[in-house]
């Protein structure tokens, strides 16, 4: 079997992510067979590249390969495109036409966006997969074909099956060998490598010096979610190569030309913030913990106020209570115990153990909590919430998986 390094070099694949390597290994193993393959992954991850790898490493490599975007073909003509039609089969069919399953006989057909295929076309495709047979539109003659099918989708086909929008039998027939192409945010270690590759390509294309990133700019790119995946990263690199006069891309350059890259739910670096990338991520954890603590305090405050109002209680006049519960009427601590209750006798009464004495506020010394402990507790809670799934925990904490791994090791968290 061809080595991963040889495959990457041959097809221009950049990356060292274990998820990417696993997908490539599966593609290389299944390529010499005639098994049907279903490639899944978000838009822009490179599913068509995987289909070409499978075809190029198969015994059909000297025969034709064709990619068909099922979502781009109108519903009324897709059957004709795939299976052909007879003369006069429909308005405008002035001649007979061979479909892809006839012209690519012996080769490979890549059906992209297969989830968009109409129901009747799904039935025809199932017959091709099961018996190698098809019928042209407007004909009754059964034709044979020997075509390998590689399908791809960026949606959840199982959910489509549950919704009744995709045939269950076709799904299992297509899903003989599944290959999941990872999203770019799941292989953040490859982002800078891809950026360098694209920067070099565009420098050669436009005859200019390649752009470079400062450490802070690199951190921003690695922490961005990249909903458009590799395709979006390529577009961003091209725009920066053209729009930036300075070949060194700084945080200010990104803010000027690509502000959406810095749009995050927590504070982001500004021109006045010169901390290192790891320190930026550490601060974001602390910001998130402090926000959670503030929400917990607000909930506690609301609970105490509800108890006070429900039981018609009066609270001793102290600055601590004033800060905690503004807007509540108080009586001086020197007032008699009988005056501490107004209205009818409440169902729950809070009384001092010695009613003849006035209440004295208790002074408590706040024990400072180390920032490292706050950070450690935030990570521990996130890991517990997601049952140890580090990827989901990192997304909740708004940090990269690499930083989360480092923090887990630093705090000896299992």
CB 234 within 8 A of CB 198: yes
- Residue-level pLDDT at 414: 66
Assigned superfamily of 4-182: P-loop containing nucleotide triphosphate hydrolases (3.40.50.300)
Kindly report whether the global pTM for this prediction surpasses the value 0.75: no
What pLDDT digit, counting tens, does each position of 141-186 carry? 999 999 999 999 999 999 999 999 999 999 999 999 999 999 999 9
351: left (phi over 0), alpha (psi -120 to 50) or beta: beta
Q: How many Å apart are CA 188 and CA 190, to the nearest integer? A: 5
Q: How many Å apart are CA 164 and CA 149, to the nearest integer? A: 23
Q: Pseudo-torsion of CA 107, 112, 115, 117, nearest 10°?
A: -60
CATH 1.10.10.60 for domain 276-338+369-414, yes or no, is yes
The neighbouring-strand residues paired with 180 are 40
- Residue-level pLDDT at 275: 46
What pLDDT digit, counting tens, does each position of 120-153 carry? 999 999 999 999 999 999 999 999 999 999 999 9
Q: How many Å apart are CA 137 and CA 80, to the nearest integer? A: 6
- Residue-level pLDDT at 373: 78
What are the domain boundaries of the chain?
A: 4-182, 186-262, 276-338+369-414
Report the 10 Å Cβ neighbour count for 9.
10
- Residue-level pLDDT at 291: 67
CB 181 within 8 A of CB 46: yes
Q: Can you list the residues of the chain whose pLDDT is less than 50? A: 265-277, 318-366
- Residue-level pLDDT at 377: 83
Q: How many Å apart are CA 55 and CA 65, to the nearest integer? A: 7
CATH 1.10.8.60 for domain 186-262, yes or no, is yes
- Residue-level pLDDT at 336: 41
Q: How many Å apart are CA 43 and CA 343, to the nearest integer? A: 66
């Amino acid at each position: 079997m061809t080595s991963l390094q040889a495959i990457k070099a041959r097809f221009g694949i950049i990356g060292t992510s274990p998820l990417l390597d696993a997908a490539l290994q599966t593609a290389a193993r299944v390529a010499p067979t005639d098994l049907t393959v279903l490639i899944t992954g978000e838009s822009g991850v490179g599913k068509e590249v995987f289909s070409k790898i499978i075809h190029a490493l198969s015994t059909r490599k000297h025969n034709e390969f064709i990619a068909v975007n099922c979502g781009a073909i109108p519903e009324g003509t897709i059957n004709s495109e795939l299976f052909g039609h007879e003369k006069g089969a429909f308005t405008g069919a002035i001649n007979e036409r061979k479909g892809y399953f006839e012209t690519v006989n012996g080769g490979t057909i890549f059906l992209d966006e297969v989830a968009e295929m109409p129901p009747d076309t799904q039935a025809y495709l199932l017959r091709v997969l099961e018996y190698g047979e098809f019928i042209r539109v407007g004909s009754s003659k059964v034709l044979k074909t020997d075509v390998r099918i590689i399908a791809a989708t960026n949606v959840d086909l199982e959910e489509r099956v549950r919704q009744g929008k995709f045939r269950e039998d076709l799904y299992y027939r297509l899903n003989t060998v599944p290959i999941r192409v990872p999203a770019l945010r799941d292989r953040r270690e490859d982002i800078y490598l891809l950026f360098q590759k694209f920067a070099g390509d565009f420098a050669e294309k436009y005859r200019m010096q390649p752009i470079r990133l400062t450490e802070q700019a690199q951190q921003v790119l690695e922490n961005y979610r990249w909903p458009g995946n590799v395709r979006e990263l390529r577009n961003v690199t091209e725009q920066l190569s053209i729009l930036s006069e300075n070949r060194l891309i700084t945080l200010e350059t990104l803010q000027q030309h690509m502000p959406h890259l810095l749009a995050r739910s927590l504070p982001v670096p500004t021109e006045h913030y010169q901390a290192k990338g790891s320190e930026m991520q550490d601060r974001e954890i602390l910001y998130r913990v402090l926000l959670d603590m503030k929400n917990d305090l607000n909930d506690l405050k609301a609970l105490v106020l509800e108890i006070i109002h429900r039981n018609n209680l009066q609270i001793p006049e102290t600055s601590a209570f004033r800060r905690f519960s503004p807007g509540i009427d108080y009586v001086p601590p020197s007032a008699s115990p009988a005056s501490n209750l107004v209205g009818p006798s409440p169902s729950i009464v809070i009384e001092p153990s010695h009613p003849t004495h006035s209440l004295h506020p208790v002074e408590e010394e706040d024990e400072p909590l180390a920032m490292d402990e706050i950070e450690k507790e935030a990570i521990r809670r996130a890991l517990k919430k997601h049952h140890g799934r580090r990827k989901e925990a990192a997304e909740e904490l708004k940090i990269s998986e690499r930083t989360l791994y480092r923090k887990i090791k630093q705090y000896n968290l299992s």
